[in-house]
Amino acid sequence: MAAIFESFYPDHYISSTYRIPFERLYEEGYRGVIFDIDNTLVEHGAPADVRSVELFLRLRDIGYGTVVLSNNKEPRVKLFSDAVGSGYIFKAQKPAAKNYRKAMSMMDTDRSDTIFVGDQIFTDVWGARRAGLLTYLVRPIDKKEEIQIVLKRYLEKVVLHFYKRKCKRENKVYIQEK
């Protein structure tokens, strides 16, 4: 049963986008970061805040290219992306891999040097894995979500249960708190 879920497992599961060691990852050769917006960088539907703007400034200072990849419509994605100074792709049709590849093209990166960060397994992580990217699953910022996402979260709990068991067998940290 667990093998069925392996294509959904993230490479890393961390408590927050803001705890990812981007400097270390840059030293390891990563040059591009693709982000989901809602519940990954800010609460669902919220505008860019000081913390997200500072993160994108930090990433540019390190040397990263960034693209925001969202299934939302352009007004939402453009407003956020303009505020943080990032490229963007709206109506991305995640989990299809096509727009992950387009995002890499926008940054002049490839799957060997690109990271994806998102909060949902069945759209964000699965799509990024299908595109061959290093994946970071983050805990959702806000528990208040649209009904279709709430329903997916129940299924995610099943996948995370098996992911946790695999991590335990491999002596790997299940979720990085820091």
Contact between 6 and 156 under an 8 Å Cβ cutoff? The reply is no
Residue 129 burial (C-beta neighbours within 10 Å; 0-12, 13-18, 19+): buried
Residue 66 burial (C-beta neighbours within 10 Å; 0-12, 13-18, 19+): buried
Element (H, E) at 67: strand 65-69
Cis peptide before 75 (omega within 30 of 0): no
Contact between 41 and 8 under an 8 Å Cβ cutoff? The reply is no
pLDDT per residue as tens, the chain (178 positions)? 567 788 899 999 999 999 999 999 999 999 999 999 999 999 999 999 999 999 999 999 999 999 999 999 999 999 999 999 999 999 999 999 999 999 999 999 999 999 999 999 999 999 999 999 999 999 999 777 666 676 777 788 888 888 888 888 888 887 777 6
